[in-house]
């Protein structure tokens, strides 16, 4: 064996087994979420004390379980997932023999008969399902993560959902790409196109395919594995390195910044978003949300940051707090642009006070220039 053959063999072994591991994790997340949906529906239909919880059931579950990632939003989508994809039960049946953990086996085995009966009770629904196009459930679970499935759950039309399932699997679309194709009405455009196959071909030719890092960084994945958001971002990433330095830079300034969160998860309209850095400013008595983009300034950056600021104003402000502030830092190949986004300030007197107590525009610009050069 030559050296280049040895190198290739190791790379292929690593890549293949890495892909298999990620697929196994995604499959288990999907199965877990379907089971969660099943348990919730069963309780809502047959629970002896279900009236006690009523509309607060999902919130009560989040509070009592108190586990990262198991929240009201996930429970909501798991219930929808169970109702829209009853045939996932087939995957669970096939997976039972592969599960070695005793507790999981007992749970699945105990509920298996009940699940089966519940599926059979939906025979009319399933019969209708068979009359419409549907993706092989094993292929669906093996190739799409729950983050993909979550994007599909908002599609009521079964034929339309089947279209995106199929094309997403065939094109190996990332979650972001799937969302983009849904939002740009690929299904409708395909129906109106004289040559739909050519349209799909051109669409896939322009797609940037997802890589391992993108898959691992999906919120469902790192929460399932008990990781924090910052744990799954590689240190070689320029933006991450800048954030590390920025966090330290602001704390060392002594302006009153108190670090609160990194990659703070925000849920808006049941979608997951992540604010880069969140501080509480003890002098200004307000939250400071910072977004750093390893890119040139674009207007959508302000829109995103403004949404985060508005979210904090509505949900996180306490009595005595001033409205939160957003700071956007953009950089691209040594170029810099610093913008303040001070959203929804009812009392304009605070604007000048904010600017006095925060780092100056020049300080932030110098930080961007210096650290970008050092890191690159």
- HSE toward the beta carbon, residue 196, CA cutoff 13 A: 10
Domains located in the chain, CATH noted: 3-216 (no CATH), 228-375 (3.40.1350.10)
Q: CA quadruple 61, 70, 180, 343: dihedral positive or negative? A: positive
pTM equals 0.63
**How far does the chain reach from its first CA to its final CA, in angstroms?**
38
The two tokens of residue 82 are 């169970």
Q: Please give the Cα distance from 175 to 164 (Å, whole number).
A: 12
Radius of gyration of the chain (CA): 24
- 122 touches 86 (CB < 8 A): yes
Distance CA 225, CA 69 (A): 10
Q: Report d(CA 288, CA 354) in Å as an integer.
A: 10
Give the phi and the psi of residue 260 in degrees, each rounded to 5. Answer: -120, -45
What is the DSSP code string of 244-285? HHHHHHHHHHTSSEEEEEEEEEEEETTEEEEEEEEEEETTTT
Structure tokens at 281: 């400013």
CA distance 23 to 144: 9
**Looking at the DSSP assignment, which residues form a beta bridge with residue 258?**
280
Edge-to-edge order in the sheet of strand 257-268: 257-268, 271-281, 286-293, 325-332, 335-341
At 315, which helix (H) or strand (E)? helix 299-315
pLDDT tens digit at each of 376 positions of the chain:
888 988 999 999 988 888 888 888 888 899 999 999 999 999 999 888 888 888 889 999 999 998 888 999 999 999 999 999 998 888 777 665 555 453 444 444 444 455 445 544 444 444 444 445 667 888 999 889 999 999 999 999 999 999 999 999 998 888 888 988 998 889 998 888 878 888 888 877 776 555 555 555 566 666 676 666 555 544 446 667 777 788 888 877 777 888 888 888 888 887 788 898 899 998 888 998 988 887 777 777 888 888 898 899 999 999 999 888 888 887 765 555 555 555 455 544 556 666 667 787 778 877 777 776 665 5
Spatial neighbors of 172 by CB under 8 A, at least 6 apart, are: 209, 210
182, 155 contact by CB (below 8 A): yes
């Amino acid at each position: 064996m030559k050296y280049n053959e040895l190198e290739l063999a190791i790379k292929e072994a690593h890549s293949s087994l890495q892909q298999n591991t990620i697929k196994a994790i995604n499959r288990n997340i999907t199965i877990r979420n379907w089971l969660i949906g099943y348990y919730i529906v069963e309780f809502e239909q047959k629970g002896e004390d279900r009236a006690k919880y009523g509309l607060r059931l999902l919130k009560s579950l989040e509070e009592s379980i108190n586990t990262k990632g198991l929240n009201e939003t996930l429970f909501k989508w798991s219930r929808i997932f169970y109702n829209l994809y009853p045939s996932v039960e087939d995957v669970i049946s096939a997976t039972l023999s592969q599960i070695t953990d005793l507790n999981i086996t007992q749970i699945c085995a105990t509920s298996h008969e009940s699940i089966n009966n519940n599926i059979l009770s939906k025979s009319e629904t399933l019969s209708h399902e068979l009359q419409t196009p549907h993706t092989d459930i094993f292929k669906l679970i093996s190739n799409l993560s729950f983050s993909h499935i979550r994007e599909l759950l908002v599609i009521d039309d079964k034929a339309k959902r089947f279209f995106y399932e199929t094309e997403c699997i065939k094109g190996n679309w990332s979650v972001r790409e799937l969302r983009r194709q849904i939002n740009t009405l690929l299904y409708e455009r395909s129906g109106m196109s004289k040559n739909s196959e050519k349209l799909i071909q051109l669409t896939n030719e322009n797609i940037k395919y997802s890589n391992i890092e993108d898959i691992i960084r999906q919120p469902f994945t790192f929460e399932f594995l008990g990781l924090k958001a910052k744990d799954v971002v590689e240190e070689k990433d320029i933006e991450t390195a800048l954030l590390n330095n920025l966090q330290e830079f602001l704390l060392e300034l002594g302006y009153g910044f108190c670090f609160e969160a990194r990659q703070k998860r925000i849920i808006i309209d049941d979608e997951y978003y992540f604010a880069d850095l969140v501080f509480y400013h003890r002098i200004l008595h307000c939250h400071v949300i910072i977004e750093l983009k390893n890119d040139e300034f674009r207007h959508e950056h302000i829109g995103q940051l403004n949404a985060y600021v508005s979210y904090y104003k509505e949900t996180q402000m306490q009595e005595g707090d001033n409205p939160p502030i957003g700071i956007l830092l953009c950089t691209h190949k040594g170029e810099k642009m610093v913008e303040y986004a001070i959203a929804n300030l009812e009392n304009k007197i605070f604007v000048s006070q904010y600017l006095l107590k925060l780092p100056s525009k020049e300080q932030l610009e110098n930080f961007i220039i210096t650290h970008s050069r050092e890191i690159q």
